[in-house]
Structure 1
Amino acid sequence: MTTNYTEAFITVSPDSTATAGTTPTKAGSIAQIQHELLTRQPYHYTSDDLLFEVHAIRQRIAAKDRKPAREAFFAKPQACLRASPLVKQFGWGLHHDADAKVAAYGVGSEAYREFSARADLKIVAGMRSKRAS
């Protein structure tokens, strides 16, 4: 099973209060690492690659151990980037291109508005932080 999307845009969660994309400041957090990787190298990682890279960094998995660690990581179901804290808390939409590579765009930016209005993309809302009551 994969978490990858192609030709899709994940919008900020409907219950997010973010009005702009903000940089996560807690060093070593999932949000901070995802943001750093996506802004340093837009369209370099697929969703699967990004999720595993964050896991490998946080768990300090050596390069030589990454292949079996990746297999073990994806042997269990993984949440897709709709559940990312970037989408839920920090105001970032995630564009997935035709090759399933991901880049982040801040809500309120021109690029975010353009992606969220494109008819050729599958538009998917980020997951809510709280259950609907």
Structure 2
Amino acid sequence: MKYHTTNYINTFIEVPEDCPVSTSEIPPEKKIKTLANLQYEKLIQNPYQYSSDDIIFESYVIKNDISESEKFSEREKFFSRGQPCLRSSPLAKRYGFGFHHNEQGKVALYSVESGEYQKLIQNDSIKKVKAMRSKRK
């Protein structure tokens, strides 16, 4: 079975031009946690500890109430077809956060107004890609 990954190596995902905020916002808490809430909590508490695949799959596990015993087989099924990567995350598109993937493919979150975000943008040794736009041009 083919494995489709969402991981990037040494890449920075920038906020798109049509992001509605100029300073990052923490996704608001709701009765049921949103995808943005789940990804934000995981990344803000654990920078460079998880890959994009880990973050996306763990969010799927929580949203779909998958048991610990089912995780391994569910992960294989989940990644047997293509999945949206963090470029489509509401954290980048709506809330103003960039994602840095290091040399090991581990991810950290950076707010658009931070000095670290600006350093990553200016670092020529890191590949840059924009998050997906919310609206067509």
1:13 matched residue in structure 2: 16
Q: CA RMSD in A?
A: 0.9
2:69 matched residue in structure 1: 64
Structure 2's unaligned 5+ residue stretches are none
Report how far residue 26 of structure 1 moved. 3.5
**CA distance in structure 2 between the aligned counterparts of 1:13 and 1:87, rounded to whole angstroms:** 7
**CA distance in structure 1 between the aligned counterparts of 2:28 and 2:66, rounded to whole angstroms:** 23
Cα offsets for 1:13-68 (capped at 9, x unmatched):
11102111211014410001000000011111101111000000111111111001
Whether the 8 Å CA contact 1:7–1:96 is kept in 2: the answer is: yes
2:88 matched residue in structure 1: 83
The residue type paired with residue 64 of structure 2 is Q
2:6 matched residue in structure 1: 3
Whether the 8 Å CA contact 1:16–1:89 is kept in 2: the answer is: yes
Q: Of residues 20, 34, 47 in structure 1, which corresponds to 2:39? A: 34
Moved more, 73-82 or 98-107: 73-82
**CA distance in structure 2 between the aligned counterparts of 1:37 and 1:74, rounded to whole angstroms:** 20
Q: Which of structure 1's runs of 4+ aligned residues deviate more than 6 A?
A: none
Structure 1's unaligned 5+ residue stretches are none
**CA distance in structure 2 between the aligned counterparts of 1:79 and 1:12, rounded to whole angstroms:** 16
**CA distance in structure 1 between the aligned counterparts of 2:28 and 2:65, rounded to whole angstroms:** 20
TM-score by length of 1: 0.96
SS at 2:13 equivalent? strand
Whether the 8 Å CA contact 1:18–1:107 is kept in 2: the answer is: no
The residue type paired with residue 12 of structure 1 is V
1:45 matched residue in structure 2: 50
